[in-house]
Every structure is written in C-alpha cells, then in structure tokens.
Chain A
Amino acid sequence: MREHRRGMTWGVASILLAVLVAIFAVSFFLAPDASEGDESFAGTDSTVTAILEERGIEPWFTPIFEPGSGEIESGLFALQAALGAGLLGFALGNLHGRSASRREQAEPTPPASPGPMPAE
C-alpha cells in the first residue's frame, strides 16, 4: 500500500527555513550602503512620505495619536507582533488539540478493540 503523506516532513521544513534565512542574509550582503546621512534599511513607507514632503505636499490631517518616540513606536509594533503571534499560537494549538481529541475518540470505537469493556 502506498503510504499516505500528510503535511510536510521535518526535512523539507528545515530546508525551507534555511531558504528563508538565506533570503534575508543575501539582502544584507547585497544591499548598497546608505548614502551619507541616510539611515540604512529605512522603511519604504517613510521614504515615500519623505519624498512627498520634499515635493511640498503637506498632510491635511494629522494622526489622532502619535507614539512619542521611535522607541515607543517600535514597542507598539512589537506589541502588535506579540498579540498576533499569541492569537496565532492559540488558534493553531486549539486546532491541534481538537484533531488530537477527535482521533482519541475515534480510536476506541472499532468493535475489535482489545481490552475489557467496562459495561460488560
């Protein structure tokens, strides 16, 4: 009987993880050095905003709340990632638990199951 593969194997997963790391490692090595006075790896969003400001475009509305500094902002970004990761972990863990308990429930049902039945 052909073996049925469910999901991916650990080998494939680790290769893909290595590819993931390699993509960013290559980026670091190939990236041109930032020109004088510019931050290296500046965010594209802020780069575009800077270009628009240079062209004299003034925002006509300002954010209701602005994080006081770059430190506070990165903290809030970390909070966003943490909340997302927490929820993602909870959801995946919950699904994992559900499928595990379903398998457990499914196992004792075959009539040929060994061991004494408590009702008999």
Chain B
Amino acid sequence: MHIAEGFLPPLQCALWFAASTPFVIHGAREVIRKAKESPENKMLLAAAGAFTFVLSAIKLPSVTGSSSHPTGTGAGAILFGPPVMAFLGTVVLLFQALLLAHGGLTTLGANVFSMAIVGPWCGYAFYRLVRRVNGPAWLGIFLAMAVADLATYCTTSLQLALAFPDPVSGFAGAVTKFLGIFALTQIPLALAEGVLGILLFGFLGRVVPHELRRLGVLSSKNTGAEKEASHA
C-alpha cells in the first residue's frame, strides 16, 4: 500500500496531506490523553504501535504469486478507537519513508490516509457492528483486523486510479487494475491477520483481562460473572 516517493502529482500530495493532518493531530492528542490515564494504557498503546510496526515490516506470500505486508492497525483501533492509529500509523510510515525508502515523504499524506485512517476506521466500524448485534468477540476482532488490512489496500488502489486513470478505460479501468494487484493479493493476508488478531487478543485476555474489560473489549457480562465468582 506504499505509494512510492514522488509518484503522486504534487497537487494530490498536498490534498492528501490536508486530508490526513487533522486526523493525525487529533490522534496524537488522543494518544497523549489515553497514555496519561494509566500506566497500563501506556503499555497497551506501545503494544498497539509495536504490533503495526512489526506487521508492516513483514512481506508475506499470497495466492496471486505476489507478496505484500499486513498492516496490523485493527488491534489499536479495537483497544483505543481509530484516532490513536492515525498517529501510531504515521510514525510507522515515517520510519519507513525515511530509513527504508519505502513509501515516501511526498506520498506520506496519501499513505497515512489509507493505512492509518481509512483502515482503522473501517475495521472499527465492523468491530462495532458485530458488538452491536451481540456477535461473538472473536468475530468482531477477526473482522476488525481483516477489514482494516483490506480497506487500506483498496484505498491505495483508489488513490492510484484517481491520479493515473487508464488512458483507455478511464478511472474505472484503473481501479480494477490496481485492485487486481493490491486487493486480490491482500485477501489471504487479511484473513491471516484476522486469525493473528484473535491470537493476540486471546493472549491479552489471559494477561490483562481487567484492562480489556475497562476498555470495553471484553463484555461486561464477563465482569458480572467474575464478580459473582469472587464474591462467592
């Protein structure tokens, strides 16, 4: 999903920067606010950022014969809501743009918009939807992780198609072509990321169950059951 340095026209670079900046500033303030709340929050924020950092460094093979990397932005969105990921994702993308020549400074706005904003928000929307209809927690986590991943790559495809419509088939043709490269490759990776998310939250559920309950990830029904158990 990294659009390479210098490939988007300057005007579009500026527009994506303008679109992303408010989200990132709001996200930075959210990170600070949540980190101040408790030392546990600080550690969970670090874990969410680190999770994205690891996953976006690892390129994995896919059925299409290409390889691509997951994004890992769904985890932080589940824990703290999507705004924090706008900031944490930007840190990751900045690191890759500066040290790895992967992505770029001029395309940072566009890349932040897809990976750190659209991805987490879409994943979070699916997570809330599952919780709203009282679906199981694991399904919400799976969908949040997988959708955050896939939505990021779909956004990149749209961004590229906007910038470079096909000379023959126009915008729609370009969307199809870029989706064919990005989104198809990403499907198995997104599924794998969903499974990894269930594992991560399973581990968190063992280690910090009351933190997850405080953040509303484990349902309060469980809290009731445990309170009952501890009183008995």
The answer to whether B65 and A59 touch across the interface, beta carbons within 8 angstroms, is: no
**CB–CB A45/B4 < 8 A:** yes
Contact B205 A6 (CB under 8 A): yes
Contacts of B220 in A (CB 8 A): none
Instruction: Pick the contact of B66: A47, A49, A61, A83 (CB < 8 A).
Output: A47
B63 contacts partner chain A, Cβ-Cβ < 8 Å: yes
Q: From B103, which residue of chain A is reached at the shortest CB distance?
A: A45
Residues of B within 8 A of A65 (CB): 98-99, 101
Residues of chain B within 8 A (CB-CB) of A88 are: 46-47, 50-51, 53-54
Identity of the chain A residue whose Cβ is nearest the Cβ of B60 in the assembled complex: A24
Contact A61–B54 (Cβ < 8 Å): no
Contact B39 A98 (CB under 8 A): yes
Q: Is the CB of B101 within 8 A of A63?
A: yes
Interface size class of B (residues with CB under 8 A): 35 or more
Inter-chain contact A67/B101, CB cutoff 8 Å: yes
Q: Are B198 and A84 in contact (CB under 8 A)?
A: no
Closest residue to A15 on the B side, CB-wise?
B195
Minimum Cβ distance to chain A for residue B19 (Å) = 19
Number of A-B pairs, beta carbon distance below 8 Å: 210
Q: How far is the CA of A99 from the CA of B40 in the complex (A)?
A: 10
Give the chain A neighbours of B63 by CB distance below 8 A. Answer: 26-27, 30-31
Q: Complex formed: what's the CA distance from A26 to B188 in Å?
A: 10
Question: Can you name 25 A-B pairs with beta carbons within 8 Å?
Answer: A2-B225, A6-B209, A16-B202, A23-B188, A28-B61, A30-B63, A31-B61, A33-B65, A41-B62, A42-B67, A45-B2, A48-B160, A48-B182, A57-B7, A65-B98, A77-B100, A80-B53, A87-B47, A87-B49, A92-B43, A92-B47, A92-B203, A95-B47, A96-B208, A98-B40
Cβ contacts under 8 Å, B206 to chain A: 6-8
Main secondary structure, interface of B, reads helix
Chief secondary structure at chain A's binding surface: helix
- Residue in contact with B10 in the complex, picked from A12, A41, A52, A60, CB distance below 8 Å: A60
| Extra contacts besides A62-B6, A63-B105 (10): CB < 8 Å | A20-B196, A42-B66, A52-B160, A59-B5, A61-B104, A84-B51, A84-B53, A88-B50, A95-B208, A96-B208
CB contacts (< 8 Å) of B3 on chain A: these are 48
Could you say which residues of chain A place their CB within 8 Å of the CB of B177? Answer: 51
Complex contacts, B181 vs chain A, CB 8 Å = 44, 47-48, 51
Segment 63-83 of A: residues with Cβ below 8 Å from B: 63-67, 73, 76-78, 80-81, 83
Residues of A within 8 A of B (CB-CB), count: 64
Interface residues in chain A, defined as those with a beta carbon under 8 Å from any beta carbon in chain B: 1-2, 4, 6-8, 12-13, 16-17, 19-20, 23-24, 26-28, 30-34, 40-45, 47-49, 51-52, 55, 57, 59-67, 73, 76-78, 80-81, 83-88, 90-92, 94-96, 98-99
For B9, what are the chain A residues with a Cβ–Cβ distance below 8 Å? 60
CB distance from A47 to the nearest CB of B (A): 6
Tell me whether A64 and B47 are in contact in the complex, defined as CB-CB below 8 angstroms, given that A48-B182, A92-B203 are known contacts.
no
Contact between B182 and A41, CB atoms less than 8 A apart: no
Q: Judging by beta carbons under 8 Å apart, are A45 and B102 in contact?
A: yes
Q: Is B97 an interface residue (CB 8 A)?
A: yes
B101 near A41 with CB under 8 A, answer no
Whether a CB of chain A sits under 8 angstroms from the CB of B36 is: no
